[in-house]
Amino acid sequence: MHDVSAHAVHHGAPTSFIRKHVFSLDHKVIGKQYYALALVAVFVGMFLSWLMRIHLGWGSFAIPGLHLLSKTGAPGDVMTPEYYLQLMTMHGTIMVFFVLTTAPFAAFGNFFLPIQVGAEDMPFPHFNMMSFWVTFVAFLVLVASFFVPEGPTLGGWTQYAPLSAVGSVGGPGQGLGVVLWAASIGIFCIGQLLGSLNFITTTLDMRTRGMSLMRLPLSAWAWFITSVMGLTAFAVLMPACILLILDHVAGTSFFVSSNEVINGQILPHSGGSTLLWQHLFWFFGHPEVYIAIVPGMGIVSHVLITNMRRPMLSHKVLIYSMGALAVLSYMVYGHHMFVSGMNPVSSLAFSFPTLVITIPSAIIVLIWLGSLYGSKLRINAASLFALGFVSMFISGGISGFFLAQPSIDIMLHATYFVVGHFHLVMGVAAMFGIFAGTYFWFPKMTGRMMSEPLGKLHFWLTFVGAYCIFMPFHYLGIASNVRRYQAFTDDYLIPLIPVHKFITVAALCTGAAQLIFLYNLIHSRFKGAPATDNPWEGTSLEWSTATPPPHNNFGDTMPVVYHDPYQYGIEGASTDFVMQTSPEQIKNPNEEK
């Protein structure tokens, strides 16, 4: 038996409040800070969606107090068409960047990756601290655009040029609003690059004794793969944002072509390429979809295995499939541009890998379903949300088959079909991954259990509600309901308004159900039942340390790893699971050769 004696801590435990809770170098505190930021962001984003949905259902309805948010955007508490687009843009941006990227990757990854690999901390804790605070500043800069004279940008989270690059002539918020948007996202990129640097190096260099790559839990693998994607994708978005800002503040012509006339004004730009922005943006944008969803895949796999009490059908194939998703995600980005006027041959070239990427996705889903088949799944809030993730991912993924083909996409492009597709497969599925992770890891993060009955109630309301919101979107899209319209006045759209009203009611109810989660989270944090070190009888390293973990994660002795991560249902063992740190010899371990 190899004895690992006391290790020198990377950085001493802080004593002052500021160093302990604000400018902390501890990855666990930084993870919680990211989670708190995502929590604020998700409620802001959800509130914006409520306002939008009310407007879509009942356009003339005066929302009490809305004028307080913007006098010009909501005179008489009824939002203007431009203000609807501004809220829509902010909803998308906040949700994609500050929730779907921040929570499953930065929050949970920061807290648990170093623990799951058996490290005391990330290798570059100062970069890690900077990564959070830079992200926080990015959020403030974005929110600040609500309070500038013309309000936030209305160009959508994709900020297509030339509208995003021409200044105020493009509409309210297209001047300073876009500059703040681009600055915010550029700053956000820096934060994510610093985070990815730490994640990659932690996984490669900081693993404890015996922790080979294949002994990493699936969640750790997912964070690692995501960080590689983040490193390459955000490094491309940042220069794109710089060029966009320069078109605004320096009068350059990167994205605005010659003789562009907008709102009766000839613009002074010349020769810019509007498609250039789309290429740069979607080279980031499609991997971003996987940056949002792959951590969820890892978290959900980890949660399911723990509750199934048996490993996935194939640990390695699941890892390779997530890796294949990451690689292919860079080759498919052009499918967002089928109707941009690009060469049909290019469309074909992008369509093919888009269909191919469904193969690793299908393999992952089949592994989940095959592993679940016949298992005696422990039903709790975490495992329910994990099942919900699988359900949402399948439902949202199937519509991707249709959109992957240019001939069909031309008809469905920019309709609610697309909105339903990406909300289910990327938005709701990723949110379910976040919820699964929260219910599963909350005991380890806080030392207290969350309420299971409230968690289950939260699941069923959210699960049913999400389907009530997003499945009708597909119907609307097939009926040619164009997205980004703030009112439906055309003859063919008027009959669809009742569907929108139904969706609005569903959105309000589902949103209200999230207050149950918020109550459960806050109440359990202070009044929840005390958690044991290993409440779910897990095997990975986070369950072999104290709850909550000490400053250096493992106390005086660093863990030594003896087994693959998921040794459940072991014959002859004293319990139905053997922890990674257990020196117990296993006769027939769950290992793949």
Partner 1 sequence: MATTVHEPPKIELDRLPSQRSGNGGWRNLVPVDGDLRRIKDRSPVPASTGIWVGLASITMTFAAFTSALIVRQGGAPDWQHISLPPVLYFNTLLILASSFTLELGRREVAKFMGGLRGQVASPARGLYVTLLLGLLFVAGQTFAWLQLRSQGFGLATNVSYSFFYVLTIAHAVHLLGGLGGMVRVIGKLNKSVLRRSTLDATSRYWHFMGALWLYLFLLLWMKL
Residues that bind partner 1 (CB under 8 A): 1-2, 4-8, 10, 117-120, 123-124, 193, 196-197, 200-202, 204-213, 215, 231-232, 235-236, 238-240, 242-243, 246, 250-254, 258, 270-273, 275-276, 279-280, 283, 558, 560-562, 583, 585
Distances (CA, A) of 386 to 299, 367, 391: 8, 14, 9
Q: What is the DSSP letter of 413?
A: T
CB of residue 560 to partner 1, shortest distance in Å:
6
Give the span between the Cα atoms of 486 and 51, in whole angstroms. Answer: 12
Q: Which of 122, 92, 170 is nearest to 26 (CA)?
A: 122
Nearer to partner 1, 274 or 524 (CB): 274
What size, in residues, is the chain? 593
Nearer to partner 1, 137 or 231 (CB): 231
Six token digits for residue 255: 């994205």
CB of residue 202 to partner 1, shortest distance in Å:
8
CB of residue 31 to partner 1, shortest distance in Å:
17
Place of tokens 């009708």: 472
Please answer whether residues 447 and 547 qualify as being in contact, where contact means their C-beta atoms are separated by less than 8 angstroms. yes
Please answer whether residues 211 and 311 qualify as being in contact, where contact means their C-beta atoms are separated by less than 8 angstroms. no
Nearer to partner 1, 70 or 227 (CB): 227
In the chain, the N- to C-terminal Cα span, in Å, equals 24
Other CB atoms within 10 A of residue 298 CB: 30
CB of residue 362 to partner 1, shortest distance in Å:
29
CB of residue 271 to partner 1, shortest distance in Å:
4
CB of residue 228 to partner 1, shortest distance in Å:
9
**Which positions ≥6 away from 578 have C-beta within 8 Å?**
539, 563, 567, 570, 584, 586, 589
Give the span between the Cα atoms of 206 and 418, in whole angstroms. Answer: 41
CB of residue 125 to partner 1, shortest distance in Å:
11
Give the span between the Cα atoms of 244 and 19, in whole angstroms. Answer: 37
Please answer whether residues 61 and 78 qualify as being in contact, where contact means their C-beta atoms are separated by less than 8 angstroms. yes
Alpha helix locations (H) across 58-124?
A: 66-69, 81-93, 108-117
Nearer to partner 1, 250 or 261 (CB): 250
Phi/psi of residue 575, nearest 5 degrees: -125, 180
Q: Which of 335, 341, 323 is nearest to 282 (CA)?
A: 335
Please answer whether residues 121 and 92 qualify as being in contact, where contact means their C-beta atoms are separated by less than 8 angstroms. no
> In terms of C-beta density within 10 A (0-12 exposed, 13-18 middle, 19 or more buried), how is residue 80 classed?
middle
Strands 577-578 and 567-568, bridge-based pairing:
antiparallel
Nearer to partner 1, 387 or 578 (CB): 578
Give the span between the Cα atoms of 525 and 431, in whole angstroms. Answer: 20
CB of residue 589 to partner 1, shortest distance in Å:
10
CB of residue 16 to partner 1, shortest distance in Å:
24
Nearer to partner 1, 129 or 363 (CB): 129
Nearer to partner 1, 238 or 292 (CB): 238
Nearer to partner 1, 12 or 251 (CB): 251
Nearer to partner 1, 205 or 576 (CB): 205
Give the span between the Cα atoms of 528 and 549, in whole angstroms. Answer: 18
Other CB atoms within 10 A of residue 310 CB: 21
Please answer whether residues 217 and 590 qualify as being in contact, where contact means their C-beta atoms are separated by less than 8 angstroms. no
**Which positions ≥6 away from 300 have C-beta within 8 Å?**
368, 386, 389, 390, 432, 433, 436
Give the span between the Cα atoms of 46 and 423, in whole angstroms. Answer: 13
CB of residue 430 to partner 1, shortest distance in Å:
24
Nearer to partner 1, 31 or 465 (CB): 31
Provide the total of helices (H) and of strands (E) in the chain, helices listed first: 18, 4
Nearer to partner 1, 209 or 484 (CB): 209
CB of residue 180 to partner 1, shortest distance in Å:
21
Nearer to partner 1, 80 or 201 (CB): 201
Nearer to partner 1, 252 or 405 (CB): 252
CB of residue 192 to partner 1, shortest distance in Å:
10
CB of residue 201 to partner 1, shortest distance in Å:
5
Nearer to partner 1, 4 or 479 (CB): 4
CB of residue 558 to partner 1, shortest distance in Å:
6
> DSSP E strands: which ranges in 429-572?
567-568
Give the span between the Cα atoms of 430 and 540, in whole angstroms. Answer: 23
